[in-house]
Structure 1
Amino acid sequence: MDDFLNIKTEENVVVVGDVHGCYLEFLQMLDEIKKMYGEKTLVVSVGDTVDRGDFNVEMLNLCFRLKEEGNFIEVQSNHNLKLYRWFKGKKVNISYGMKKTVDQILSLPEDERNRLKEKYINYYETLPLYLIINSSVVVAHAGIKDDMLGKVNKKIKDFVIYGETTGRYTEEGFPERVDWTRERVVNENSPKIVYGHVVYKEPYINNLCYGIDTGCVLGNKLTGYNPFTDEFIFIKAKRRYFSFS
């Protein structure tokens, strides 16, 4: 746990933005990925697969199954880390978004709940902090700076999982975040960095950094991105599952 993963693949790769319990939209995304690129496509999740949406247990079980089948990797993220800490008996602040996940888990029969707890703890402990693919694409939940690549420490982990904030909030109720992509200096050897965490109406592209959390759980859409073909896949949200107001 808490290490990065460096992989090589000749298969197509699609990185999917924050799902947040939007299980039905994620299933649709998987179908679209298979249609476009084939069954062997490597699907990478930027994390935050739970909380705020309505199908959090379903998402967890699907992620377990996809990982067992191969061709699926999820990176560490703040919402999933919080769930891991809750399962481990740590004291966490159960916000409204997380309460939906916790309530769903607590509604399960005790034996099923215990099985889920054990599976999730084992699952989360195998997730890489960030992922480097073919030395040319990096996937990190909240992003990563070039001087952090190939390294792991507490400062890097905090940045990758939580990002940087100003301490202020936007009109929509989001923490105001520091746009670390603006400072990036790129050259012909710079990898693409694909991340989630920060919600945009459309994918945010800046200095070879691709922000692909497009707020599916807020009623917008789920985004997938193939960094090698530079193609996007969009799945419209079936409804708004969560509101900050």
Structure 2
Amino acid sequence: MIRTPPDPRAFIHDRGPFDLIGDVHGCFGELVSLLEQLGYDRRDVHDWHHPEGRRPVFLGDLVDRGPDSPGVLRTVHATVTGGRGYCVVGNHDDKFRRWLAGRDVKITHGIEETIEQMSAEPDAFHREMAGFIESLPHHLILDGGALIVAHAGVPSDMHGEDSRRVRAFAMYGEVTGDRDEHGLPIRRDWARNYAGEPTVVHGHVAEPQVRERNNVLCIDTGCVFGGHLTALRWPERDYVQVPAHDTWFHSPRWSQDDR
């Protein structure tokens, strides 16, 4: 079997400690509350530092559906470009990047809120965010290989590789190609077969509670749907959560799961 080339952006020589933060989806107020709860100090509205040197790691889907995607983008951009944290690209971020580049995308699933919010932002900010999102890796290998981070996860045979197949999996997970009764993609539970030694932490699949299966942790707990914004402290493996300030977006799948 011919393996694809490694992705140099995936290998980060940083052993932490980290605070892994699930899908923010434009919930800037909740992000501020979570960072405060995690012990970060704010030097200005978007400039956060931890007194013990902890680094936030954002799991992607920074934008769409929530009330302030530009605020989230500014905070994550300042953190990553300032060398104080990391971020992987989510499928919503990538779609937004394509919209910023003038590509034809479907104005559905919450991007309409981001487009409206961005209409008040200068062109320079549009260009800066397009370049920033383009620069984000699709997955990260941290803590000497003990920790793998991707928006939708990555199975063992993809760790560290760079290809269209790996990028698609890292952003979308394992999909069947079919859609459910709500018109949403049907996903397979790829973690059911995971037997790798590294812990994989991802978001993408919103559920009311953190899901742990076969050393795969999903920490998207549906903040934008009225759930919680969740962080995983690494290496402690402790969870820190803040409740959503409101139900910012209604999803039929979330309502069904939450009953």
TM-score, normalized by length of structure 2? 0.85
Q: Secondary structure at the match of 1:232?
A: strand
Q: CA deviation at 1:38?
A: 3.7
Q: Is the Cα contact below 8 Å between 2:211 and 2:217 reproduced in 1?
A: yes
Gap runs ≥5 in structure 2:
1-6, 42-49, 253-259
1:1-245 pair list within 5 angstroms: 4-34=9-39, 38-106=51-119, 108=120, 112-134=121-143, 135-166=145-176, 167-169=178-180, 174-186=184-196, 190-245=197-252
Q: Distance in 2 between matches of 1:158 and 1:200?
A: 21
Pair 1:39–1:51, CA change in 2 (3 A): farther
Q: Secondary structure at the match of 1:185?
A: coil
Tell whether the 8 Å contact from 1:33 to 1:41 is kept in structure 2 after alignment.
Answer: no
Q: Classify the secondary structure of the residue corresponding to 1:14.
A: strand
Q: How many residues align?
A: 236
Deviation at 1:220, TM superposition (A): 0.5
Change (3 A) 1:131 1:96: closer
- The 1-side partners of 2:247 and 2:92 are apart by 19
Any idea what the Cα deviations from partners look like across 1:18-39, whole Å, max 9, x if unmatched?
0000100101111122269745
Query: Aligned equivalents of 2:165 and 2:137: distance in 1?
Result: 16
Amino acid paired to 2:200 = I
Moved more, 57-66 or 235-244: 57-66
Structure 1: unaligned runs, 5 residues or longer: none
Counterpart of 1:221, as a letter, is H
For the 8 Å contact 1:13–1:227, the answer to whether it is kept is yes
Root-mean-square deviation (CA, aligned residues, Å) is 1.9
CA deviation string 1:158-205 (max 9, x = no partner): 11111122313267x75331000001124xxx1000000011111110
Q: Which amino acid counterpart does residue 61 of structure 1 have in structure 2? A: R
TM-score where L is the length of structure 1? 0.90
> How far apart are residue 115 of structure 1 and its match?
1.2
Where 2:203 maps in the other structure, the secondary structure is strand
In structure 2, distance between residues paired with 1:204 and 1:31: 24
- Mapped to 1, the partners of 2:150 and 2:71 lie a distance apart of 23
| Residues 163 and 5 of structure 1, relative CA distance in 2, 3 Å threshold | same
CA distance in 2, matches of 1:168, 1:81: 21
Deviation at 1:61, TM superposition (A): 1.5
